[in-house]
Chain A
Amino acid sequence: MTTSELSTTVRRRDRVAVIDLVGGVNARAEHSLDTAWAEAVRELPDAVVLNFRDAGYINSTGIALIVGLLAKARARGVPIRAYGLTPHYREIFEITRLADFLAINPDEDSAVRGAERSST
């Protein structure tokens, strides 16, 4: 399936790192996600928030990559949250049971606030 390459940017909101995901999350997204993760945790944030608002298509390989991020976050003891998921992808996160480990918020403010709370 052809979708656009994933591009990522990392922003800071206080002590929380926000990773903006733009484009498809699939096998070709691995390098971009790894780079963003390395940058996000470089300054030892209290938490990391994934912004899926502009993420396009997510396939099962993309979900596996997100699981990889969860494992890295767990190894570092960094809470991880998400927002901007469409109802369809919220459902996918429920089916794959990612939602058991990744808090899903309706917007960035609540994700950042939740991340701050969960890290204290």
Chain B
Amino acid sequence: MGDVNDRTTENAMDTAAAARDATYWAKAVTRLNVSEVPKGAINLNVTGKQLAGPIQGFGKMWQKTYQVRLPRERVSATDLIATWKQRFPDFWPEGNLFYGPLTGIAPGEVALLNMTLPGGMTLSTGVMVLYADEESFTLMTPQGHMFAGWITFSATERDGETVAQAQVLMRASDPIFELGLTLGGHRQEDLFWSHTLREVAAHFGEAADVDTQVVCVDKRRQWSRWSNVWHSSAIRSAGYMLGAPIRGARDLARRGRTPD
């Protein structure tokens, strides 16, 4: 009888959770749209792109988990996530800009990313907030991003500690990014998220070590996806930067023709 009651209670909890669930997930989108471009942001490689999950990518599939532990009395899981959502760009390494929507991190919102690559090139891409609740949020990448996948940021309370976590599930989008990841890109990414988590911990007054776990979920490359390179944000960003002098000269000429 007790089991039946337990099961009924669990089913009721699941029903309630499922009802709330609709507000946590993004609505269906066929192509991304950036509603407002923040000042200073480059809006490239996002508008009109489809989302690309880990199964649409080219390279090996990786799951990377980065964790820091904080004393529970310092911050609860829900407070940590609320802060992380609110101050998301502040915790990123210098030179990498996240232009979030004015409304904050909420399901369906699109953010622009302008990342500085080795050599000084700015790579422009974006992400969509796929999911957000009180204890986690997930960003999903568009076509042309360095990797196809999603990143889930979460916090849980375990044994008197609050564990903050970033978990990436990804494949390199195309053969060029796969090569880049092999030649140091993975290490750069590990440094990026380790830095972010250390900054999150530092925000709450903790100098925490980052625990990193990397698992290759699928060793095979999806050669049928080589043509993803057409959308490559690296190639398109490089083209955009190379075209800057021409755009500048054109603007000057246009201004020169305009009467005062």
Tell me, yes or no, whether A60 is within 8 Å of chain B by CB.
Answer: yes
The residues of B that contact A92 with a CB separation of less than 8 Å are 25
Interface size class of B (residues with CB under 8 A): 35 or more
For A51-64 the 0/1 string (1 means CB < 8 A from B) is 00000111111001
Main SS at interface, chain B: mixed
Q: Are B55 and A98 in contact (CB under 8 A)?
A: yes
**B123-155 contact mask (Cβ, 8 Å, vs A): 1 or 0:** 000000011011110101000000000101010
Q: Are B150 and A71 in contact (CB under 8 A)?
A: no
A97 and B56 contact, CB distance less than 8 A: yes
- Is A24's CB within 8 Å of the partner chain B? yes
Find out whether the CB atom of A57 lies under 8 angstroms from the CB atom of B56: no
* Residues on A with beta carbons closer than 8 Å to the beta carbon of B24: 59
Q: Is the CB of A57 within 8 A of B53?
A: no
Top 9 A-B pairs, shortest CB-CB distance: A56-B14, A4-B10, A60-B138, A57-B17, A60-B131, A71-B218, A97-B53, A3-B17, A71-B217
Partner of A64 from B13, B21, B134, B169 at Cβ < 8 Å: B169
- Within the complex, the shortest CB–CB distance from A91 to chain B, in Å, comes to 5
Measured CB to CB, the closest approach of chain B to A112, in angstroms, equals 23
- Is the CB of B232 closer than 8 A to any CB of chain A? no
Contact of A95 among B29, B56, B133, B220 (CB under 8 A): B29
> Is A61 within 8 A of B17, CB to CB?
no
Are A59 and B218 in contact (CB-based, < 8 A)?
Answer: no
B83 neighbours in A (Cβ, 8 Å): none
Nearest A residue (CB) for B22: A88
The CA of A64 and the CA of B138, in the complex, are separated in Å by: 11
Query: Is A45 an interface residue when CB atoms closer than 8 A count as contact?
Result: no
A-B contact pairs, 5 of them (CB 8 A): A27-B154, A59-B24, A67-B217, A68-B169, A74-B220
Per-residue A-contact encoding for B13-29, CB less than 8 Å = 1, 0 else: 11101101110111111
Closest to B6 in A: A4
| A residues in contact (CB < 8 Å) with B | 1-4, 23-24, 27, 56-61, 64, 67-68, 70-71, 74-75, 86, 88, 91-92, 94-98, 100-101
Distance in angstroms between the alpha carbons of A24 and B154 in the assembled complex? 17
Question: Are B21 and A57 within 8 A (Cβ)?
Answer: yes
Q: CA–CA, A30 to B167, complex, Å?
A: 14
CB pair A24–B28 under 8 Å, yes or no, is no
**Which A-chain residue is minimally distant from B218 (CB atoms)?**
A71
- Complex contact A96–B21 (CB within 8 A): no
Of chain B, the residue at the smallest CB distance from A74 is B218
Query: 12 other contacts beyond A60-B152, A96-B51, with CB at 8 A cut-off?
Result: A1-B17, A3-B17, A4-B11, A23-B10, A27-B154, A27-B156, A59-B21, A60-B136, A61-B154, A67-B169, A95-B27, A97-B51
Inter-subunit contact A95/B55 (CB<8 Å): no
The 8 Å CB contact of B52, one of A59, A91, A97, is A97
Tell whether, in the assembled complex, residue B217 and residue A56 are in contact, meaning their CB atoms are under 8 Å apart.
no
**Distance A111 CA – B249 CA, assembled complex (angstroms):** 61
